[in-house]
Amino acid sequence: MHSKTLIQWALDKLAPCHCALCGLPSGRDIELCLHCEGELPWLTHSCGQCALPLAGARDAICGRCLAQPPAFDTCIAACAYTEPISSWVHRGKYRGDFPSLRVLAYLLRRALSSHEVNLPDLVIPMPLHWRRRWQRGFNQAQEIGREITRHPQFTELKLDTRLARRTRATTVQRELGLVERQRNLRGAFCITRPLEGQTVAIVDDVLTTGASANALALALKAEGAGQVDVWCCARTPLQLK
């Protein structure tokens, strides 16, 4: 074996990935080193129901949830939707960058561990309409959910990719405000079987206004779900529109 190849082989064995932020060997199987992980915009104070970033105590309920509670019961979000999280989301969703999705899955898994969540009966990815999935080639939420349920800590979880379907190709949500998003999503989801009191966790990459998660939670509860939680990698600040 050539000396350079041997050195590269040894480096790959010792440090299989390099950190996407600092470029140094990460020392683990994701592109994020421990130092840069500590510098990320972790959500340490957020609404206990919708995970909106708050300045007050952890798990307090925000004014919007007090006035109009969402259909989902809780939301756990790993980080605020700022750099570098937003770049990982964009690369994973629109460029098919699976290493970025693995980093996002790791961040969500760490957040779930820190909250000591009660494991649900089912985990489902936020569904894409078949046309959008065909164009993209994958569902980023499904890839994140798969990474989480493969981890030894969460092997008891069941990822169900067929329970929920998106029945309408809705307008791209990022172009709409809250009211328009809610109107856009009416009747957009179909649940394929009764749930009989089961607890369901919805996995997604980003929670923005919560309109998609709310519409899906309504559909799940209409089929008998006893509790619906949302697990997302990132949460945006308050949307004013």
Q: CA-to-CA distance for 159 and 148, rounded, in angstroms? A: 9
Element (H, E) at 207: strand 199-207
pLDDT category, 241, cuts 50, 70, 90?
very low
Q: CA-to-CA distance for 51 and 128, rounded, in angstroms? A: 23
Provide DSSP, 160-177: -SSSEEE-S-PPPGGGS-
Query: What is the four-CA torsion angle of 138, 140, 238, 200, rounded to 10 degrees?
Result: 110
Residue 180, Ramachandran bin (φ over 0: left; ψ between -120 and 50: alpha; else beta) = alpha
Encode pLDDT of 80-126 as tens digits: 999 999 999 999 999 999 999 999 999 999 999 998 888 999 999 99
Q: Which domains does the chain have, with CATH numbers?
A: 12-41 (no CATH), 43-235 (3.40.50)
Q: Percentage of residues in the chain with pLDDT exceeding 90?
A: 69
Encode pLDDT of 134-186 as tens digits: 888 999 999 999 999 999 989 899 999 999 999 876 555 555 455 555 556 66
The pLDDT value given to residue 10: 55
Could you say which DSSP state residue 30 is in?
S
Q: Percentage of residues in the chain with pLDDT exceeding 70?
A: 83
